[in-house]
Amino acid sequence: MSIETFQEQVEKKRQKLEKVKTETGQPPGLETEQFTSRVERHRKARQEKKIHIPLVNLLLAFFIFLPVAVFFLYSYLIHR
């Protein structure tokens, strides 16, 4: 199959597209109640993915406080 043959087949099957309008005069899918932008959809998806885990915050505080507590306990026992 050569390129010319392929191009001829494309020309034969090519159809012109017509715009379809609804009763409101807008193209379908652009009604104001149902229309959301890509940014809004992405923002909603990102908000749904956000998970709050208090256990992680608790462990973080514990491991930050642990070395400080050990140092103060050690220094208290040494100076006693």
Specify if 45 maps to a domain. yes
| % of the chain exceeding 90 in pLDDT | 28
Among residues 13, 11, 33, the alpha carbon closest in space to that of 24 is found at 33
| % of the chain exceeding 70 in pLDDT | 69
Q: Count up the domains in the chain and report the number.
A: 1
pLDDT of amino acid 6: 84
Specify if 41 maps to a domain. yes
Specify if 37 maps to a domain. yes
Q: Is 72 helix (H, G, I), strand (E, B) or coil?
A: helix
Q: Supply the pTM of this predicted model.
A: 0.35
pLDDT of amino acid 58: 93
**pLDDT class for 48, splitting at 50, 70, 90?**
low
The tens digit of pLDDT for each residue in 53-69 reads 889 899 999 999 999 99
Specify if 6 maps to a domain. no
Contact at 8 Å (CB) between 24 and 31?
Answer: yes
Specify if 3 maps to a domain. no
Domain of 72 in residue numbering reads as: 20-78
The dihedral of CA 61, 63, 68, 74: what is its sign?
positive
